[in-house]
Amino acid sequence: MKLFRTLLKLVRREIGLIIPDRNLISVLLIAPLFYSFFYGSIYYNKVETDVPVVVVDQDQSTTSRKFIRMLDASQLVKVTKDACDMNSAKKEIISGNAHAIIFIPANFEAELKSGKGSDLKSFLNTSRFLISNDINKAVNEVSATLGAGIRLKYFQALGYNLEQAKELVEPVKVEIRPMFNYTESYGDFLVPSVLIIILHQTLLLGLSESVAKEREQKTISSLFSYADNNIPTAIIGKGLFYVMLYSVYTTFFFSVNFYIFKLPFNGSVAPFILLTILMLTAVVFMSIFISSFFERKIIAMQFLTLSSYPVFLISGYSWPFEFLPLPIKAWANVIPFTPYSSSVIKLTMMGGGFANVYTQIIHLFILAIIFFAAAYYRMNHLFKTTQLQNI
């Protein structure tokens, strides 16, 4: 009961430390909500539609015009212009009015009808890989559909019935079905990770600023006094408010934000709750440890603000973790974002449960213990320092 009252006093003390500080208010209360909706709204449409392309049709035949109509009817692509030559088409690419050139050669229809086949060329602006991949996908699908129709008529003309002609057109049928992210949406893939990095980084930054502020204003001895000079109690009490606050944020993000942005949550809730608590706890202890080396709040903010992009890039979310260099993997495994982000993919998109994320649970548990030990070592050092200064 005494421990509960002590922790409650420390939580109240932390709230009193935050409220008059506009910087902490902006990082802890404004930034998480603002950025979660701002960044999420960028990917609200999730998939690209009607990406502009330009066509150079040197055949001007019935078949080439049919191909252009089919391409324009695709959800992914919109034919904005039928250029007369490659030079004018390239100008459309350079000006940004189109992202690809589809080149239909002369004798396109004649070669197809003769059974020789014809080469259809796509010139893609691969400086934007996501768009170029979607254009390539649309062109391949339309080409395959048109080619299948031509081959079907060819075999029927040779005397085969419809069923026989279908078998000859496609002797090996390939059926591709996405197991997860059925719409192949970039938004469904990216927005959950954006929400996680907002949680991770604003917590890291806010708590680190709070600890650095204590050192800057020389109120660290007051923290120990509130905790009855008990180091573990001081660490837990300092971080308890942040765990509670960010538990609320997590619940809000993965319910309200997921609903607004139509994101799937197909897995089990229980392991998600456990993983979230372990992640927040590990980040709290890591923040206390890291920030204990800073004597000024502004320095802590400047240093840790730069960590957001590296944390995201080395986590294995945007690039497969197994293909990262070994030293980068070692650093990534020390950051709580890494196991948490991979587990969230399994739980939200892939419909996983405890059996699919138990390694991440163990990983986060170990990180929480390691960072608690590190935070204890540093806070014990600061406690002894303040005692010597008070003599």
The residue that leads in pLDDT, 174 or 372, is 372
Where does the pLDDT of residue 205 fall: very low under 50, low under 70, confident under 90, or very high at 90 and above?
very high
The residue that leads in pLDDT, 303 or 208, is 208
The residue ranges of every structural domain in the chain are 2-44+185-390, 51-169
Q: What is the pLDDT of residues 53-95, one digit of tens each?
A: 999 888 888 888 888 888 888 888 888 877 777 888 888 888 8
Which pLDDT score, from 0 to 100, does residue 390 have? 59
Which pLDDT score, from 0 to 100, does residue 330 have? 93
* DSSP structural state of residue 120: -
Which helix (DSSP H) or strand (DSSP E) does residue 15 occupy?
helix 2-18
pLDDT at 225 over 70: yes
Name the residue with tokens 């008059």: 20
Quote the CA–CA distance of 27 and 202 in Å, as a whole number.
6
What residues contact residue 153 under an 8 Å CB cut-off, 6+ apart? none
Q: Which of 56-65, 114-123, 185-194, 195-204 has the highest mean pLDDT?
A: 195-204
Query: Kindly report the CA angle at 355 between 349 and 360, in degrees rounded to 5?
Result: 75
pTM: 0.85
Asked whether the CA dihedral 290, 28, 264, 274 is positive or negative, the reply is positive
Chain centre distance of CA 157: 52
Q: Which of 33-42, 154-163, 371-380 has the highest mean pLDDT?
A: 371-380
Contact between 312 and 324 under an 8 Å Cβ cutoff? The reply is no
Query: Kindly report the CA angle at 286 between 285 and 290, in degrees rounded to 5?
Result: 120
Where does the pLDDT of residue 206 fall: very low under 50, low under 70, confident under 90, or very high at 90 and above?
very high
Closest CA to 192 of 237, 128, 95, 258: 258
pLDDT at 146 over 60: yes
Which pLDDT score, from 0 to 100, does residue 321 have? 87
Q: What is the pLDDT of residues 255-269, one digit of tens each?
A: 999 999 888 898 899
- Classify domain 51-169 at the CATH topology level: abc type-2 transporter like fold (3.40.1710)
Mean pLDDT of the chain: 87
- Across the range 137-166, mean pLDDT stands at 80
- Across the range 173-181, mean pLDDT stands at 78
Q: What is the pLDDT of residues 311-342, one digit of tens each?
A: 988 888 888 888 889 999 999 999 999 999 99
Which pLDDT score, from 0 to 100, does residue 210 have? 93
Quote the CA–CA distance of 254 and 198 in Å, as a whole number.
13
pLDDT at 127 over 90: no
pLDDT over 70, % of the chain: 98
Which pLDDT score, from 0 to 100, does residue 320 have? 85
Which helix (DSSP H) or strand (DSSP E) does residue 69 occupy?
helix 62-73
Interhelix angle 337-344/269-291, rounded to 10 degrees, is 160
> 28-47 as b/e, with b when 16 or more CB fall inside 10 Å?
bbebbeebbeeebeebeebe
Q: What is the pLDDT of residues 339-354, one digit of tens each?
A: 999 999 899 988 889 9
Please measure the distance between the N-terminal and C-terminal CA atoms of the chain and give it in whole angstroms: 32
